[in-house]
Amino acid sequence: MNVWITGASSGLGLHTAMAFAKAGHTVIAGARSFREEKRDGMYCFPLDVTNDASIRAFVEHAKQISGSVDCLVHCAGILMLGACEETTLEEYSKVMNTDFFGMVRMNQAVLPLMRAQGKGKIIMFSSINGLLGIPFQSAYTAAKHAVEGYAECLQMEVQDFGIQVCLVEPGDHRSGSEAYRGHTSGMKDDSVYGDLFRRGTGKIHHDEQNGSDPDRLGRRVVHASEKKHMPFRLRVASPDQHLAVLLHDILPPFLNHRILSSYYFGKKEKSDG
């Protein structure tokens, strides 16, 4: 299978690309930090999913190597931590431009090729954050919610052309690259959200550092791609994260909010008097 994959230089993208290569597939991997070379069983090319010219160049390179594209895997993404009030529109746009519009650009470049060959598989990395919100990740959460809705529309539109769509929804994994996890400019030491931010992001960091095995996730994605009929959703998360999604769907909003707030911030202390 000829696999084109974005965001393959680090994090879950790297582990997924390596899993495809180890499984014997032809992997054409793109990332902003790549230069043109072959390494670790993959063909690597520079790719910036926010730039149309970069996407066109990547597609031309990939076509020269593989001829066809059997599977397109979207892993490019960034994350910015900050309070909703103190995240600028430019910072929201930066995250959306990579995490959501980057997928849209790549799909619009590759879908004509898949339609012409009468088949293809598109794997889009969403997140547990595409299903529920957590504090101080509003830009990333909004982008992943957009990916979820977009993917549902896309699957209905392309199925008659022999094209399948799969949403991968990872929970916390030990793979995050700090280069793609910045803080918003408004999160300064004297921010009114400072105490909550430190507690909430401390919990987020702990969960990531103690998350699941990213190599296992890569193997799960490869296995799903090799099926004749891919699952539309592939959730790879710990049992408690599966439970969190379930509770989010069935509990009253006020109760779900109370549970998540307690988890990220701890119990609210009662004031004297």
Burial 106-126 (b: 16+ CB within 10 A, else e): bbebbbebbeeeeebbbbbbb
Cα separation values, 214 from 26, 51, 210, Å: 20, 28, 11
Contact 194, 82 (CB under 8 A): no
**235 has which bridge partners?**
169
Q: Which parts of 23-76 fold into alpha helices (H)?
A: 52-66
Task: Out of 66, 126, 127, 225, pick the active-site residue.
Answer: 126
Quick check: is 263 catalytic?
A: no
Quick check: is 9 catalytic?
A: yes
DSSP 192-234: TTHHHHHHHHHHHHHHHHT-B-HHHHHHHHHHHHHSSS--SEE
Task: Out of 92, 140, 150, 264, pick the active-site residue.
Answer: 140
Task: Out of 66, 92, 144, 264, pick the active-site residue.
Answer: 144
Burial 183-195 (b: 16+ CB within 10 A, else e): bbeebeeebebee
| Tokens representing residue 263 in the block | 């988890």
| Tokens representing residue 63 in the block | 């076509």
Quick check: is 119 catalytic?
A: no
Q: How far is CA 117 from the centre of its chain?
A: 27
Quick check: is 22 catalytic?
A: no
Nearest to 179 by CA among 79, 270, 76: 79
Task: Out of 9, 66, 175, 225, pick the active-site residue.
Answer: 9
Cα separation values, 24 from 19, 105, 121, 135, 226, Å: 9, 28, 17, 40, 12
Judge residue 239's burial from the number of C-beta atoms within 10 Å of its C-beta, 0-12 exposed, 13-18 middle, 19 or more buried. Answer: exposed
Kindly list the catalytic residues. 9, 126, 140, 144
